[in-house]
Amino acid sequence: MSQASQNQHPSVSVEVKGLRKSFGSVEVLHGIDLNIKAREVFVIMGPSGSGKSVLLKHLIGLETPNSGDVLIDGHSIQAEDMLERYRLAMVFQSGGLLNSLTVAENVGLYLTEHRLMPQKDIDRLVTEKLEALGLKGQENRMPEALSGGMKKRVAIARALVIDPQVILYDEPTSELDPLIAVTIGQEIKRLNQENDVTSIVVTHDRDLAFGIADRIALMYDGKVLEVGTPKELQQSKNEQVQKFLNASFKF
Amino acid sequence: MFQDIGEMLILFWRTLQALPQLWRQRLKMFDQLFEIGNASLLMACILSLFIGGVLALQTGPVMVERGLSGLIGGIVGLSVCKELAPVMMAVLIAGRIGSAMAAEIGSMRVYQEIDALKTMNINPIHYLVLPRVVAISLALPMLVIFAIMVGWMGGALVSVFNNDISISFASYFNNLRSVVELGDVLNGLIKSFIFAMTIGIVCCHQGLCTIGGPRGIGRSVTKAVVNSIVMILILDYVVTRVLLYFDL
């Protein structure tokens, strides 16, 4: 039996409908429409300040839109019981690990707080997930003693423990050296293949996007310019898309 | 300002609603309780010893001069238990513990730890605010009991050993016993309980509202301590009036 079929909570689709968001008088998202299929790796790419992270926060209900909606499996994310009905997880840019807890406590936090299983089983599951991400023996370390790459992997382990139907990654390779960035990219792809999960990745790292994406949305100035497979995006006639994809250090 | 007050009232109400969750959060509550006691007990004792002492020093000679030396114990006793111990301990706790609460929750907010809790469907009020508010509400009245006793001792030491006063321990404590009633101590404890809840809510609210980086955290801490002290002094008057109405 494959691991994907062991997942008790099957992946779900995510739909974004006419999403608008303003902070004060500045509109950051100008009516975003997206349709993300269940079990795909969907990358939202774009330059800094294009509204990618704000969009990601809307996808998990951390921000409330001015208009429009995000539908998880057809249900609005604004509904009160959405995080009880669906298992959504997010890997934050900074990791978002609780600094007062050890690595193991961080990874098992969801299960401990919701009392989903006995402590013995939580410990076993935490060790299992940490091992799967190459973090064996790190259980009792504090987050401040970990490197950037390790923090990201602990954050991914914490997301996996939830047994998520959707995982959101916010800039998973930022502040990492290319070798670790490749490892994280491989992990995202592997976890998507092994678990029945929809993965949404926000990044401005073109190599990561083209390496792992089933489809890519390119955002610019709060709008989605183009959505398509990596190949379709490379063949795009849109000037902004080509400018972003072909920016180079060669002068 | 009115928005802040409204938000604090909502936070207070949600914390009250979360009280049934307290048993699940008891370990965090005990951690906080230990932290507060450990950090403040010695400071509370030193502060109240000198408050009692200075009160006796200021009032004693004047009373002796007018032949009222027998009332020093009562004056020090009442002032310490009804006013000085609750207010001074609350100010101490606001500075020592309230600032730490605002800083810790503020940095959790800035570094996305609170967002992480929300995405795990863990209510930050249950996880962070409830154990802190309950712990401080239990710890401050306990500290005030210590402070009252040490304050009385401070007053007694000065009354006995200061040459301008020089009354006996027996005279000081006899007068204190005849003037101070259990209701007076209760008055101080009720006040300290109300001050403690105020400090907890004000400081947790400031922490949860933190925006920006380290500068934002610093701003929140300053605001938390200043707002707590202002609230303590305003509430001191209001609560005193209410307790006087109930003859306490």
Whether residue A86 contacts residue A73, with contact meaning beta carbons closer than 8 Å, is answered with yes
CA B90, CA B88: separation in Å to the nearest integer?
5
Question: Over 80: is that where the pLDDT of A249 sits?
Answer: no
CB-CB contact of B153 with B56 (8 Å): no
Q: Is residue A176 part of a domain?
A: yes
Residue A251 is assigned to a structural domain of this protein: no
Task: Give per-residue pLDDT as tens, A168-201.
Answer: 999 888 877 888 788 888 888 888 888 889 999 9
Residues A7 and A82 reside in one and the same domain: yes
pLDDT of B77 over the 50 cut:
yes
pLDDT in tens, B175-227: 999 999 999 999 999 999 999 999 999 999 999 999 988 899 999 999 999 99
Between chains, do B122 and A88 touch, taking CB under 8 Å as contact? no
Q: Is residue A93 part of a domain?
A: no
Q: Does B232 touch chain A (CB under 8 A)?
A: no
Query: What does the pLDDT read at residue A243?
Result: 83
In a domain, A179, yes or no: yes
pLDDT value, residue B159:
95
For residue A42, what is the domain's CATH number?
A: 3.40.50.300
Nearest to A109 among B112, B115, B120 (CB): B120
Place of tokens 């429409």: A33
Task: Provide the ipTM.
Answer: 0.85
User: How many structural domains comprise chain A?
Assistant: 2
Q: Are residues A19 and A81 in the same domain?
A: yes
Band of residue A1 on the pLDDT scale cut at 50, 70, 90: very low
Closest to B119 (Cβ–Cβ): which among A60, A84, A113? A60
Residues A18 and A62 in one domain: yes
Q: Are residues A179 and A151 in the same domain?
A: no
Residues A38 and A156 in one domain: no
Residue numbers of A between 51 and 70 with CB closer than 8 Å to B: 57, 60-62
Averaged over A26-55, what is the pLDDT? 91
Taking only Cα atoms into account, the Rg of chain A, rounded to an integer number of angstroms, comes to 18
Closest-CA residue to A137 (of A169, A104, A164): A104
- At A48 the pLDDT is 84
Cβ-Cβ contacts under 8 Å, A162 against chain B: 120
A165 residue type, one letter: Q
Dihedral sign computed on CA atoms, order A95, A99, A103, A105 = negative
Q: By the CB < 8 Å criterion, does B122 face chain A?
A: yes
Give the CA angle between residues B37, B38, B43 to the nearest 5°: 85
Nearest to A94 among B111, B117, B118 (CB): B111
Helix/strand/coil for A122: helix
Q: Are A51 and A58 in contact, with CB atoms under 8 Å apart? A: no
- Residue B115 near chain A (CB below 8 Å): yes
Asked if A84 and A32 count as a contact pair (C-beta separation under 8 A), the reply is no
**Contacts for B173-177: CB closer than 8 Å, 24+ residues apart:** B173/B73, B174/B73, B175/B70, B175/B71, B175/B72, B175/B73, B175/B74, B175/B77, B176/B73, B176/B74, B176/B76, B176/B77, B176/B152, B177/B73
The answer to whether residue A188 sits within a structural domain is yes
Torsion angle, alpha carbons of B161, B162, B164, B170, to 10: -40
The length of chain A is 251
Task: Give me the residue from A84, A90, A98 closest to B119, CB to CB.
Answer: A90
pLDDT at position A80: 81
| pLDDT beyond 60 at A3 | no
Report yes or no on A95 lying in a domain: no
Q: Residues A172, A154: one domain?
A: no
Identity of the residue in A96, A110, A162 whose CB atom sits nearest the CB atom of B113? A96
Question: Chain A within 8 Å of B21 (Cβ-Cβ)?
Answer: no
Query: Helix or strand or coil: residue A195?
Result: coil
Please check whether residue A94 touches B, CB under 8 A: yes
A108 & A71 share domain:
no
Q: What does the pLDDT read at residue B118?
A: 92
Q: What is the pLDDT of residues B37-70, one digit of tens each?
A: 888 999 999 999 999 999 999 999 999 999 998 8
pLDDT digit string, tens, across residues B103-118: 999 999 999 999 999 9
Same domain for A79 and A12: yes
Contact A90 B116 (CB under 8 A): yes
Q: Where are the domains of chain B?
A: 26-245
pLDDT of A238 strictly over 60: yes
Question: In this structure, are A184 and A226 located in the same domain?
Answer: yes
Q: Is A41 helix (H, G, I), strand (E, B) or coil?
A: strand
A139 and A213 fall within a common domain:
no
Specify whether the backbone of A95 is left (phi greater than 0), alpha (psi in -120 to 50) or beta: left
Number of Cβ atoms within 10 Å of the Cβ of A206: 16
Q: Is residue A231 part of a domain?
A: yes
Tokens representing B97?
A: 């513990």
Contact A7, A195 (CB under 8 A): yes
Domain of A236 in residue numbering reads as 3-87+166-246
Distances (CA, A) of B57 to B50, B53, B62, B232, B242: 10, 6, 9, 26, 31
Q: Return the pLDDT at A4.
A: 44
Q: Is A166 helix (H, G, I), strand (E, B) or coil?
A: strand
> Are A96 and B122 inside 8 Å of each other by CB?
no
Mutation for testing the A interface, residue in B27, B104, B108, B113 having most A CBs under 10 Å: B113
Whether B161 has its CB under 8 Å from any CB of chain A: the answer is no
The verdict on B31 touching A (C-beta cutoff 8 Å) is no
Asked whether the beta carbons of B54 and B66 are under 8 A apart, the reply is no
Say if residue A201 is in the same domain as residue A180: yes
Cα gap A157→A168, rounded to integer Å: 13
